[in-house]
A and B are shown apart, each in its own frame.
Chain A
Amino acid sequence: MIGVARGSLAVAAKDLRAEMASPAQAMSLFVFALLVVVVFHFAFDLTAAEFTALGPGVLWVAILFTGILALDRGFRVEREGGRIDGLRLAPMPRSALYFGKVLSTWTIMTAVEIVLVPIAAILFNHPLGGWALRLLPVLLLNTLGFAAVGCLFACITTQTRRGDLLLPVLLFPAAVPIALAAVRATGHVLAGRPLDRFAHWLTLSAAYDLIFLAAAVLLFDHALDD
């Protein structure tokens, strides 16, 4: 028998190892995110001046859409070949499976974001600077919230017929607080404002994370096959 921590790490490590074993797949997530940003670049003819105002929205649309793909893939992999059975048979608490998936999704999404943000800035001729580092907590907190609800929903939608359309339909409304908090906080960071101006948004994200991680721990068991 193993505990939640070890189980989660084992599951997350497996996901990440599989991801790194086929780098082409990992790259395709990043390319998709970049494409979304590029589409906005052309669709709205954005310039450097507007990056501070509109950049946050563009970035987070790209991130959330990419996140949907990552979530769907993450659980679809387990559906194939009945691999989810192997996970359900592990002598560990069921929540370990949930936390493991959240951890790997969070890591993969953050990895994409860390590369995406500087490249987007360059694309819009926005000078790189210390703001990129200050953006990290915003990225981490909000991505975690998205992954927390996303993993719960993805577990459900990958068991449903034509569930791939259902995931964004369910997840985007549910993740609205995250989207709003992320965009506002990112905007403040880009504009170089001090932390106390937007700390309440970070608090919102953190509260969202806690509430839904806790709720998912209770609910996840019901989302698995029976």
Chain B
Amino acid sequence: MTAGDGPLLEVRSVSRRFGVVAALDRIDLTLQPGERVLLLGRNGAGKTTLLRLAATLLRPTTGTLRHFGREARGDEGAAVRGRLGYLPHGSLLYDDLSVAGNLRFHAALHGLADVRGRVQRALEETGLSGRAGDPAGTLSRGLQQRLSAARAFLHRPDLLLLDEPFTGLDAPGVLLLQGLLRERLGTAGACLLATHDIPSSWPLVTRVVALAAGRIVLDRKADGLAPADLQALPGAAS
């Protein structure tokens, strides 16, 4: 992982419209190395849209986004995409491929070396070694979520974008993911984590950002805040 080269993500005055609806309205957000941001907001507040914009899957209607100091346009964006990790709602898994096969495909797309070793370690870290040969479609929701996480982190991204990552995970699964995040992010990585599950994410979080109707209504460090304070905020646990 590279040492801090300046902000990992800069969102400047970004708006995103879908037809008539403005999902995001003039968002300003900067992520420095080491920051772990908890993104709060009600359903429809714009969390997923912001994550997808940060993942370069959407283009802003107005405003600019910069990753690691550059704009990720088209093919030049390939270098940027190699350092991003995105864990969305959908599983991104191929049901017909095996558990290991899905990871191997991801490794191939990222041109990773030592595929076998990496995949093996990833399976061990997420407790999936026993199911390595099974088709991904036969896994339970919770195990699929673990596999999705293993996939998202396989290429050791510097910037992690997570959309409800704890959904479907049992208690051991939650602990597993927390540990994985801590270890992967280290001191130089950053993440943007959108969730309603505050208790699970709280141990990791350094900063809290809340969205309401497409605008940022809160942006402060987590020091001095307790999870209970957040319940009162718009968008918590709804």
Contacts and interface: CB of A to CB of B under 8 A. Distances in A.
A200 interface: no
A199 interface: no
Interface residues of A, number: 30
Contact of A1 (B58, B79, B106): B79
A82 B55 CA distance: 14
* Complex A-B, nearest 6 residue pairs according to Cβ-Cβ distance, in ascending order: A82-B90, A91-B82, A2-B111, A90-B109, A10-B108, A86-B92
A93 B93 contact: no
A83 B110 contact: no
Interface in B73-89: 74-75, 78-82, 84, 86, 88-89
Contact of B82 (A1, A13, A21, A221): A1
Interface in A124-148: none
Interface stretch (B94-102, B173-181, B204-212): B94-102
Contact of A86 (B80, B106, B111): B106
Given A7-B109, A13-B108, A221-B74, A89 B96 contact: no
Nearest to B110: A91
A226 B59 contact: yes
A82 B89 CA distance: 9
B7 to A, nearest CB: 20
13 contacts: A2-B110, A14-B108, A19-B96, A21-B96, A77-B94, A81-B91, A82-B89, A86-B109, A88-B57, A89-B55, A91-B78, A94-B74, A226-B58
Interface string A73-95: 00001000111011111111110
Nearest to A77: B94
Interface in B136-164: 151
Given A1-B82, A7-B109, A14 B57 contact: no
Interface of A: 1-2, 6-7, 10-11, 13-14, 17-19, 21-22, 77, 81-83, 85-94, 221, 225-226
Contacts of A2: 109-111
Given A2-B109, A14-B97, A90 B81 contact: yes
B76 to A, nearest CB: 10
Contacts of B88: 82, 85
Contact of B92 (A82, A93, A225): A82
B135 A21 contact: yes
B90 A81 contact: yes
A88 B74 CA distance: 10
A86 B136 CA distance: 15
A17 B94 CA distance: 11
Given A82-B88, A89-B81, A225 B57 contact: yes
B59 A91 contact: no
A1 B57 contact: no
B98 to A, nearest CB: 8
B74 A90 contact: no
A225 to B, nearest CB: 7
Contacts of B84: 89
B108 A1 contact: no
B231 to A, nearest CB: 31
Contacts of A14: 94, 97, 105, 108
B32 to A, nearest CB: 23
A10 B105 contact: yes
B57 A91 contact: no
B82 A85 contact: no
B57 A85 contact: yes
B85 to A, nearest CB: 9
